């Protein structure tokens, strides 16, 4: 290994074009850390927020963009027992994945599922950890329940569709055009609602004999918050994981009381290492075997070279993509 590496610098923040390739020193594999030579990194909405200056990294995290990567282990820190040099892995980083090397706590690292490429593996951590903890750990989606996910054609949305369907739920989603409708149906959604031409509340009620859905995973916010209450069944659960529309809006909460609803939310990055390690353990046990059988696989829209991160972020913010946007660093 050399003493320096390429990475994407974003300075004090701004539009995508503030990003540019730069050189910095390699991160160190601290106690409990795994140092990975990055093959691919995923592009996610939180990266765009951090780049714009609206989502600073938590204390102790790398200031470099990037929350997920795949590659090969090149070094391990003190106390690491699960991994050794040469292992093909993917991991949920606390930051730093838009670079040639990234250090990740050992509990947040997973083996590349058998049969998957390093490209596919890099598309897993952020979306699968997010969906697993919010839909399955926290809100306990059960077989036979009806699940609605907004933004169905996003990386998160397609992951949620596939996992919910695999675990026996009936799945609805919302998207913005006919191509995205077809992509979500192909991924396993029972009903895909085009929100530009259909009212998702009406469609959700019609699909459930006016009873409403059991769980909603929302990343939109804004006026969706009031409409989500109307679309939920008695004892329904609403999980907020992002806000593409304003987070401040007027909501009449009487429906929450009348229907005995549960409204919660979470962000993944500030969660403790122990929490993330538990997510990783459950994913390895419950989801990795499905992927090794060819189901619940990530959908990849486009791959950019690391140096083209500007174009990758512009595409993410356009919302025209279907599935994951990826950065190639060293490749397979």
Domains of the chain, CATH where assigned: 4-124+272-328 (3.90.180.10), 128-265 (3.40.50.720)
Q: Look at residue 331 in the predicted model and tell me its pLDDT.
A: 83
Q: Look at residue 52 in the predicted model and tell me its pLDDT.
A: 96
Q: Look at residue 138 in the predicted model and tell me its pLDDT.
A: 85
- Report the half-sphere exposure of 28 (CA within 13 A, side-chain side): 3
**Could you tell me which of 102, 180, 170, 90 has the C-alpha nearest to residue 129?**
90
Contacts of 232 (CB under 8 A, 6+ apart): 212, 213, 214, 216, 238, 255, 259, 261
Stretch (H or E) spanning 111:
strand 109-111
Backbone φ and ψ of 213, nearest 5°: -90, 160
- Burial class of 295 by CB neighbour count within 10 A (0 to 12, 13 to 18, 19+): middle
Rounded average pLDDT per 10-residue block, the chain, 332 residues: 91 95 96 98 97 91 97 97 96 98 98 98 98 92 97 97 98 98 98 97 98 97 96 97 92 94 92 96 98 96 98 97 97 82
Q: Look at residue 307 in the predicted model and tell me its pLDDT.
A: 98
Cβ(35)–Cβ(41) below 8 Å: no
Stretch (H or E) spanning 317:
helix 309-318
Contacts of 202 (CB under 8 A, 6+ apart): none
Contacts of 197 (CB under 8 A, 6+ apart): none
pTM attached to this predicted model: 0.95
What are the C-alpha distances in Å from 170 to residues 193, 227, 228, 247, 328? Answer: 14, 20, 17, 28, 35
Q: Which two tokens stand for residue 36?
A: 């990975």
Cβ(104)–Cβ(34) below 8 Å: yes
Q: Look at residue 253 in the predicted model and tell me its pLDDT.
A: 94
């Amino acid at each position: 290994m050399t003493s320096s590496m390429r990475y994407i610098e974003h300075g004090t923040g701004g539009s995508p074009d503030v990003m540019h390739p730069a050189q910095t020193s390699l991160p160190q594999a601290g106690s409990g850390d795994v140092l990975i030579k990055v093959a691919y990194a995923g592009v996610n909405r939180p990266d765009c927020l951090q780049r714009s200056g609206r989502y600073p990294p938590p204390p102790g995290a790398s200031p470099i963009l990037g929350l997920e990567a795949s590659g090969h282990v090149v070094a391990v820190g003190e106390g690491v027992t699960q991994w050794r040099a040469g292992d093909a892995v993917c991991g949920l980083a606390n930051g730093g994945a838009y670079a040639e090397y990234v250090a990740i706590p050992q509990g947040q690292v997973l083996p590349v599922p058998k049969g998957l490429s390093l490209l596919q593996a890099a598309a897993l951590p952020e979306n699968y950890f997010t969906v697993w903890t919010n839909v399955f750990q926290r809100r306990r989606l059960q077989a036979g329940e009806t699940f609605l996910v907004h933004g169905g054609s996003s990386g998160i949305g397609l992951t949620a569709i596939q996992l919910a369907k695999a675990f026996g739920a009936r799945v609805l989603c919302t998207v913005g055009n006919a191509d995205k409708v077809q992509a979500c149906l192909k991924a396993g959604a029972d009903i895909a609602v085009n929100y530009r031409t259909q009212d998702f509340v009406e469609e959700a009620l019609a699909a459930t004999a006016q009873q409403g859905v059991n769980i909603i995973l929302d990343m939109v916010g804004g006026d969706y918050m009031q409409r989500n209450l109307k679309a939920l069944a008695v004892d329904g659960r609403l999980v907020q994981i992002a806000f593409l529309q304003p987070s401040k809006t007027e909501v009449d909460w009487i429906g929450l009381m009348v229907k005995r609803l549960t409204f919660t939310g979470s962000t993944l990055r500030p969660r403790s290492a122990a929490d993330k390690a538990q997510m990783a353990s459950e994913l390895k046990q419950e989801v990795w075997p499905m992927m090794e059988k060819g189901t619940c696989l990530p959908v990849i829209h486009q791959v950019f070279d690391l140096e083209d991160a500007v174009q990758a972020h512009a595409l993410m913010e356009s919302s025209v993509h279907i599935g994951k946007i990826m950065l190639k660093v060293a490749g397979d």
